Amino acid sequence: MRNREFRDAIYEQFARISKALASPKRLELLDLLCQGERSVEVLAKSTGLSVANASQHLHTLRAARLIEAEKRGLFVVYHLADRQVCDLLSAIRLLAEARLADIEQITRQFMKSHPNLEPVDRETLRERVLSGAVTLLDVRPKEEYLAGHIPGALCVPLEELEERLDGLPRDQEIVAYCRGPYCVLAVEAVERLKARGFEAHRMEDGIVEWRSLGLPVEEAVSAAESQHRNRGDA
């Protein structure tokens, strides 16, 4: 039956996409690439992979045409081939959160082992920010802050946190946020702040959730935006 051959061929192609996604490490790599372009070395480091292994995973992602590589001098910089890839990742994340009870349990356990990280929810935060009773920190890399952040938030990338401690209020509550519930930048930031005697909390949701709820997002405009587009990682 010719129909069967056709269908087999077509679904084989669809499966190229899903097979590329069928690995935790590759999902993590894609998640990172959703935030912006990265070199192999950086990707390997952030995911805990060996460079050779990361390179191979990137190769399979590339074979599925989910990402593209660009050689820049000594580095190979990878970026998503299509914005739709982010959508696909969120769809997976959403489904996983909705259907897999294990995820909730894992996060709960993680929070338990980090007992100082009492998360702050959106509603509470909005109130406190509006009343000026709180200092809000965006601890993601600067480019991501420029691409969109919660109004009133300060741009304090995690790497710069130590240098900027002097500028932060010791008499006021500090709330840190990052990309979302599975991003640990804010967790790290809050731990460091607490260790220094600040009163810090973490907002559970990140910019993605904030945005998708239709809440206001401030964007840095043209100049910064195009700079981000052209140079990527600074």
Partner DNA sequence: CTAGTATTCAATGAATTACTTGAGTATATG
Partner DNA sequence: CATATACTCAAGTAATTCATTGAATACTAG
Q: Are 122 and 205 in contact (CB under 8 A)?
A: yes
- Active-site residue identified among 86, 155, 178, 183: 178
Residue 28 binds which entry of a copy of itself, DNA, none, with Cβ cut-offs from 5 to 8 Å by kind? a copy of itself
Nearer to DNA, 46 or 90 (CB): 46
Nearest Cα residue to 147 out of 9, 15, 37, 17: 37
Nearest Cα residue to 147 out of 46, 222, 82, 81: 222
Q: How far is the CB of 15 from a copy of itself (least distance, A)?
A: 4
Between residue 47 and residue 66, which ones bind DNA under the rule CB under 7 A? 49-53, 55-60
Please tell me the count of residues contacting a copy of itself according to CB under 8 A.
53
DSSP strand pairing (67-72 vs 75-80):
antiparallel
Q: How far is the CB of 218 from a copy of itself (least distance, A)?
A: 28
Is 56 an interacting residue with respect to a copy of itself (CB under 8 A)? no
Distance CA 207, CA 140 (A): 10
Is 194 an interacting residue with respect to a copy of itself (CB under 8 A)? no
Look up 178 and say whether it is catalytic: yes
Q: What are phi and psi of 117, to 5 degrees?
A: -100, 30
What SS3 state is found at 153?
coil
Nearer to DNA, 58 or 89 (CB): 58
Is 46 an interacting residue with respect to DNA (CB under 7 A)? no
**Residue 63: which H helix or E strand, with range?**
helix 51-63
Q: How far is the CB of 97 from a copy of itself (least distance, A)?
A: 9
Between residue 196 and residue 215, which ones bind a copy of itself under the rule CB under 8 A? none
Q: Is 232 left (phi over 0), alpha (psi -120 to 50) or beta?
A: left
Is 9 an interacting residue with respect to a copy of itself (CB under 8 A)? yes
**Residue 67: which H helix or E strand, with range?**
strand 67-72
Distance CA 142, CA 131 (A): 26
Tally Cβ neighbours within 10 Å of residue 124: 14
Radius of gyration of the chain (CA): 20
Q: How far is the CB of 213 from DNA (least distance, A)?
A: 34
Question: Which residues form the catalytic set?
Answer: 178
Instruction: Please report, as ranges, the residues that interact with DNA according to CB under 7 A.
Output: 19, 22-23, 25, 39-41, 44, 49-53, 55-60, 69, 71, 73-77
Instruction: Please report, as ranges, the residues that interact with a copy of itself according to CB under 8 A.
Output: 2-4, 6-19, 21-25, 27-28, 48, 65-66, 81-82, 84-85, 87-88, 91-96, 98-100, 102-103, 106-107, 110, 113-114, 182, 184, 187-188
